[in-house]
Structure 1
Amino acid sequence: MKKTNKEIDASNRRSFLKTTAIAAASFMIVPRHVLGGNGFIAPSDRLIVAGVGAGGKGGSDIANFAKSGKADIGFLCDVDTNRAAGSVKSFPKAKFYKDWRELLDKEHKNFDAVSVSTPDHSHAMIALAAMQLGKHVYVQKPLTHDIYEARKLTEAAKKYKVVTQMGNQGASNDGPRQMKEWYDAGLIGDVHTVYAWTDRPVWPQGIPWSANKADIPKNLDWDLWLNSAPYKDYVEKLVPFNWRGWWDYGTGALGDMGCHLLEAPFSVLGLKYASEVEASVGSVYVDEFKRGYFPDSCPPSSHVTLKFPKTAKTQGDVTVHWMDGGIQPTRPEELEANEVFGDGGNGTLFIGTKGKMVSETYSANPRLLPLSRNKDIKVPEKFARVPKGAEGHYAQWVEACIAGHGKKELSSPFEIAGPLTEALLMANLAIRANDVQRKDANGKVSYPGRNIKLLWDNDNMKVTNFDAVNQYVKREYRKGWTLGA
């Protein structure tokens, strides 16, 4: 039977409404880049995130992005299914992958941004591959494992015009901003010396690699975990935490805590790239008379001294001391005998020509010394605070990604995080120099990298007076792994 014009109009209307509803539902989950590039604000105003590293810190990162209320976790990736189980349960709609390369290859059209929370040695290649696809990236500290990688990521952020943030939550705290206001107001004069210290490591360092080969857990893809690092047999207790103390995978106490403790000196004083560095390290003895030699493992403690050239905010060079393994600088004379130095185990001390100031981990609780000075501080607030401080570090990145490249200020974009990471890794060059061995014709062993100062050619990224450590500036990747496309 032939339909009337009225019936046809009603049918067409129902069809239109149905089609529109389906299209609208689909439109809400289309990644932002599909709808017009990084600067386009989608009607839903939401960011679709792929999380590489879904357990441990990766799991908390992903949860915090979702907590911002403006991000959807679309994809999860982890080499350890047991570690990732919590995130998989929390985000049941997220598609799961084990290999980040497969994730990027198959799904890159379906998300806007990537969170990288993996061991240090895999940060750079994941982040750069994502950036080359036009994805915004959030990378846990330290930004990279090697100096060369940090430089390449810093350059890539500018080249690909993506929004970047290092997971250095303290950079979003009120502390660094308050200390900048105090310093700019001249309360401590010109800073020439900084001390930063930590009680880390709290994992094994200064030990030999285990000779006890163990069975690989069924939940762990060991080859994928190794990533670019040289192949070694699996040993117990390396993952998920103790890898930090091995140079093939981690960056020691500097990589773990350096970003949290040295961010404030960088932002307050405008530090950029160091020009020279020297280090002394703690020793482990295998018996009463013989010092252990374990070059694959970070030392149990170290004291590193870096020199930074004059900046627009200093009158001369700045000397920065880093101490780990429980070593601390001498207590300032302005601090009373029973007053806590830093937070007890960690802290940062600024020494100026007119006074001193100290802070804790994450640059928290900044104070002038002596502490009695803090009662009468009257310095106006001139730097905007990040809502919710350290916790707001995640939402800050999400909102910046939604706004588009260059539209919102971030606390730790790669232009800041890159040079900071390079300084930490330069310090590690000096630490590793202590383990460089040489043998003369008679077999006598010497350590020429000890008790010397390394001079740094920043443009060419090389030490000019001790070539043996330049191999650590840009390491060799395992066959089949590359940095970038």
Structure 2
Amino acid sequence: MVVKPGVLAAGRSPNDRLNIAGIGVGGRGHANLSDCRNENIVALCDVNGNNLAAAARQFPNAKKYVDWRTCLEQADVDAVICSTTDHTHAFVNIWAMNRGMHVYSEKPLANSVEEAALVRETYLKHKDKIATQMGTQIHATDNYRRMVELVRRGAIGTVKEAHVWCGRTPAGGGYLPEAGPVPDYIDWDLWIGPSPFHPFNPEYLKGCLSWNPFWDFGSGQIGDMGSHMMDMPWWALDLRFPTTCEAAGTPVNPDTCPQWLTAVWEHPANDWRPAVKVFWYDADKKPQIRSEAVKGDLFKGVMYAGDKGKLFCDYGFRVIEPSGDLTYFAPPKPEELIPPSPGHHQEWIIGAKTGKPTLCNFDYAGALIMHNLLALVAYRAGKKLEWDAATLTAKNCPEAEQYIRKKYRQGWTLNG
């Protein structure tokens, strides 16, 4: 049974279960499938046979695949959960949406600015028929909602800047040398997928932090943790497309993302706030925090700087340091609060069955990932970019083009 948003088959109800294919079933894939276990898990796909066997024990009735392209041909699949390595996210997402499937994708949605833009464009083309959600699951928490309300209701006045940081330090170095034969349970060619070929090394497979630093497989901390952390000001400040971006980091390495990165984007005014600057810091870089409200060293967080104070927040806390007595601030009434989420995965499932909008759909999330990955373009180009999101061009920096778009191995099509 194929359930499309707002077009439920006669005699069906939102209580009917989706037929879901899990593509990438280890690690986050296992967690995502477990959170959707009350639906019909009808297909499992992974290039790692051990992951596939473990998932099959949990979902014994699901068909098993190694190649996700073949998996998407299964006729009864309504929806896809994409939990592959980052460099294949955009491929799976776009192919699935082009086939009318609902998609839940791990973050980031893509591994280049152009890929993220095409994921967003494909969703907008099909948005009346499909539900999408990026796996920034902390977006569903009540703390995020209270933080958004404080910013938008002027608890710190007019926000001029948002500073976002995460203390993870990516590994540097170069692509790994060949190390031993490929195990018979790994399809290495499919793991490499559309990226340039690199010889097998088991170190790549030890976890996301093992492959994430490499340009051909991931996008460092701005792509990984930036998806979560930047989501806070993205929502609170209703951000979209910046007009400029500049970045700095360790010396550019042709193989790996920077071991530290700082970036700043300029965002234009919208209909309720003036122009705002957004800053990113990772590794040992962070903004200067002189505050009585914040105790200790924050490994990750967001600081909003307004004309009437500052707001500090993270996944689980929020604290205001007002410059006055807050008499100007009117807390929201109960009926004015942002409604609680039924759960990040459940929100997607409800959207697939009823057409109710999801908060981290691929319009919202696609623009967020374009924004984050633009920092890596500016870093590699070594120049402040004057950005035109409509044409995906840095108007003052033609040499940035090589970093905005990727080239793929023969036989791989992004928009398939």
Query: What TM-score comes out, normalization by structure 2 length?
Result: 0.92
Does residue 278 (structure 1) correspond to residue 246 (structure 2)? The answer is yes
Aligned 8 A contact 1:190 1:354 in 2: yes
Give, in angstroms, the shift of residue 358 of structure 1.
Answer: 1.2
Matched, 1:231 2:190: no
Aligned with residue 329 of structure 1, among 271, 279, 287 = 287
| Alignment-derived partner of residue 475 in structure 1 | 406
Query: How far did residue 50 of structure 1 move?
Result: 0.5
The correspondence of residues 24-423 of structure 1 with structure 2, limited to 5 A, is 30-32=1-3, 38-40=7-9, 42-43=12-13, 45-66=16-37, 69=38, 71-105=39-73, 107=74, 109-160=75-126, 161=128, 162-201=130-169, 203-204=170-171, 206-239=172-205, 240-241=207-208, 242-282=210-250, 294-315=253-274, 317-335=275-293, 339-341=295-297, 344-361=298-315, 364-369=316-321, 378-381=331-334, 382-387=336-341, 392-403=343-354, 407-423=355-371
Q: CA deviation at 1:176?
A: 2.8
**Secondary structure of the equivalent of 1:238?**
helix
**Whole-Å Cα distance in 1 between the matches of residues 357 and 104 of structure 2?**
15
Q: Which residue identity lines up with residue 97 of structure 1 in the other structure?
A: Y
Cα shift at 1:279: 1.2
Cα distance in 1, alignment partners of residues 325 and 145 from structure 2: 18
* One-letter amino acid of the structure 2 residue matched with residue 59 of structure 1: H
- What is the DSSP-based 3-state SS (H/G/I as helix, E as strand, rest coil) of the residue aligned with 2:230? helix
Report the 3-state secondary structure (helix = DSSP H, G, I; strand = E; otherwise coil) of the residue aligned with 1:305.
strand
Shift of the alpha carbon at 1:333? Answer: 3.3
Q: Which runs of 4+ in 1 moved over 4 A?
A: 370-374
Relative to 1, partners in 2 of residues 1:327 and 1:85: Cα closer, same or farther, differing over 3 Å?
A: farther
Cα displacement string for residues 1-41 of structure 1 (whole angstroms, at most 9, x for unaligned residues): xxxxxxxxxxxxxxxxxxxxxxxxxxxxx3436xx984437
SS at match of 2:202: coil
1:437-456 paired onto structure 2 within 5 Å: 449=382, 452-456=383-387
Q: CA deviation at 1:150?
A: 1.4
Distance 1:359 1:248, change over 3 A: same
Whole-angstrom distance in 1 between the partners of 2:55 and 2:245? 41
- C-alpha contact 2:6 2:353 (8 A) present in aligned 1: no
Looking at structure 2, the residues matched to 85 and 484 of structure 1 have their Cα atoms a distance apart, in angstroms, of 30
Question: Does the residue aligned with 1:428 lie in a helix, a strand or coil?
Answer: helix
Displacement of 1:42 after TM fit? 2.3
- What residue identity is the alignment partner of 1:299? P
Match of 1:458 in 2: 389
SS of residue in 1 equivalent to 2:212: helix
The 8 Å contact of residues 156 and 322 in structure 2, kept in 1 or not, is answered as no
TM-superposed CA distance for 1:147, in Å, is: 1.2
Is the alpha carbon distance of 1:237 and 1:328 closer, same or farther for their aligned partners in structure 2, counting shifts above 3 Å?
A: same
How many percent identity over aligned positions?
Answer: 32
* Cα offsets for 1:141-177 (capped at 9, x unmatched): 1111111121112121121231111111122122332
CA distance in 2, matches of 1:276, 1:154: 20
- Report the structure number with the largest CA radius of gyration: 1
Q: Where is the helix percentage greater, Structure 1 or Structure 2?
A: 1
Structure with higher RCO (Cα < 8 A, 6+ apart)? 2
Which structure 1 segments of 5+ residues have no match?
Answer: 1-29, 284-292, 434-448
Aligned alpha-carbon RMSD (Å)? 2.2
Moved more, 411-420 or 155-164: 155-164
Q: Which secondary structure state, in structure 2, belongs to the residue aligned with residue 220 of structure 1?
A: coil
Structure 2: unaligned runs, 5 residues or longer: none
| CA deviation string 1:242-300 (max 9, x = no partner) | 110000110100111111111121111111011111111135xxxxxxxxx63210111
**How far apart are residue 378 of structure 1 and its match?**
3.8
Q: 1:231 to 1:465 in 2, by over 3 A?
A: same
Secondary structure of the equivalent of 1:50? strand
SS at match of 1:188: coil
Name the counterpart of 2:415: 484
Checking the alignment, whether the CA contact within 8 Å between 2:293 and 2:320 is kept in structure 1 is no
Question: Conserved in 2, the CA contact under 8 Å of 1:59 and 1:84?
Answer: no
Contact 2:153–2:330 at 8 Å: present in 1 too? no
